[in-house]
Amino acid sequence: MTEKPSNITGTPADRPLDWANSRVMSPADAIMWRADDDRRFRAPVFAVELYDCVPEWNRFVAAVDWASRMVPRMRERVIDSPFGVGVPTWAVDADFDLNYHLRRAAVPGDGTWSELLNAVEAIAMTPLDHARPPWEAYLFTGLPDEKAAFVVKVHHAVADGMSTVLGMSMLRSTTREHQLDKPQPPAARPEQPGPSAVIGNQLAASARLVPTILGALGDGARSFTDPVGSVRKAIDFGLSARRVSGLASPPHSPLLAKRSLSWRLSTFDIRFVDLRAASKIAGASFNDAYLAGITGAMRLYHEKLGHPIDVMPLALPISLRAEGDAAGGNKITVGRVAAPVSIVDPVERMHNIREQVLLARTEPAAGLIEAVGPVLAWLPSELLGFAGKTTSVNDVQASNVPGIRHDTFMAGAKVERSYPFGPLPGCAVMATMLTHGSTGCLGINHDAAAITEPELFFDCVVDGFGEVLALAPDAEPVFRRV
């Protein structure tokens, strides 16, 4: 990983990037971290990148080592409270070993993309070592045409999707040639914070929330001046909280009811300009077209198996990251919609989804997770099981992340595709799209017990997006990479 000079004089800054540098987790990050105690709700995010050639190994190792010095979080481990409550502390790992985190392997079997995904499934389902920095990476060789794949797996407590893409964009090179003038910061000094330091960090983090709490109390006191209006707002907030938390949810699909611990991965290429053109013709957004494609796939799958349904619960992340917020960590809330599965017309489907998404973004309780997070973070992991139920109510979760539109390279190898994947926190299907260059790279993670006819499901994904793309003249068909 290399980076262009970062300042206007052309002289690289000899310092790490300002990304994910908080010494303590946010409450939302802490909840995700402790959810690992229940293996149904483990939260790795991972990506599979396709390279046009196999990078030279020593140069590749040096590039990852450089990245770990540019982004100190890559060398930091999590130190939890001695009491198992409150927000954990990040500390530089005194035993950091790049040879543990970065590995190489050959694609098993006949070396196909499908065989690669089978190997990645096992990697994704294996828990990260909590005693080390929570990430792993693998360089796979042996793909057809002498191509390679880079698999990166990181705990969701480190960053959300938007922040991860931002971090990767800062660490990629725009040229295949080796850059000798890139910044070379030294590795951070190891840290060994004791229990008292960890508890002190927790108390300091909680103290910083006092102004927010006092502000809420002030709002409550002022409500006595308008009791009728305050009651109305309280009712609206309560109803909104039920929707945001998932307590009020559309009926589930009976076909997707079962859950297991087995994940299955698939990848698809969708030309960005085609999906954007289809959305404009429909008078909708790119994200509306994306969600309409996912919803269409679910309609076709249910119809072909003889179980048509009208709606299903679908969740999508809504970024709360504002200008000036630090990068790294998670700044998201959950938007929930009743996916209009029964609507056949893709234009009508997009408009229905658009209205629901706009409402979800303006929910009075949109910041509920951030509001209750500081309280939940002080609960032991044994009592956080109910938090997982807020994600289990979803049949599908879908995310669309703007990516890197220019060519990027890693140790001399060009990144041709970058497929993102999210965990399955109790839902049946997790669909994530990342725009890479001119291609929408769609990665789908599904529960093997929920999707019982995977090949049919893959065909339905192609045809569901095909319904949307048919709106755009000369649109190319969806390509499933196998």
State the catalytic residues.
Answer: 156
DSSP secondary-structure letter at 169?
Answer: H
The H or E element that residue 100 is part of is: helix 98-101
- CA–CA gap between residue 416 and residue 202 (Å, rounded): 43
What gap in Å lies between CA 47 and CA 169, rounded to an integer?
14
Amino acid at 210: V
Coil, strand or helix at 414:
strand
* Cα separation values, 286 from 248, 295, 404, Å: 27, 14, 16
Q: What six digits make up the tokens of 262?
A: 């087995």
Whether the Cβ atoms of residue 54 and residue 146 lie closer than 8 Å to each other: yes
Q: How far is CA 394 from CA 257, 303, 391, in A?
A: 10, 20, 6
The CA-atom distances, in angstroms, between 111 and each of 52, 101, 116, 119, 145 are 15, 23, 7, 11, 11
Contacts of residue 129, Cβ cutoff 8 Å, sequence gap at least 6: none
Tell me the two tokens of residue 434: 């990342």
Query: Sign of the C-alpha dihedral, residues 372, 377, 381, 382?
Result: negative
User: Looking at 320-357, which runs of residues are DSSP E strands?
Assistant: 332-339
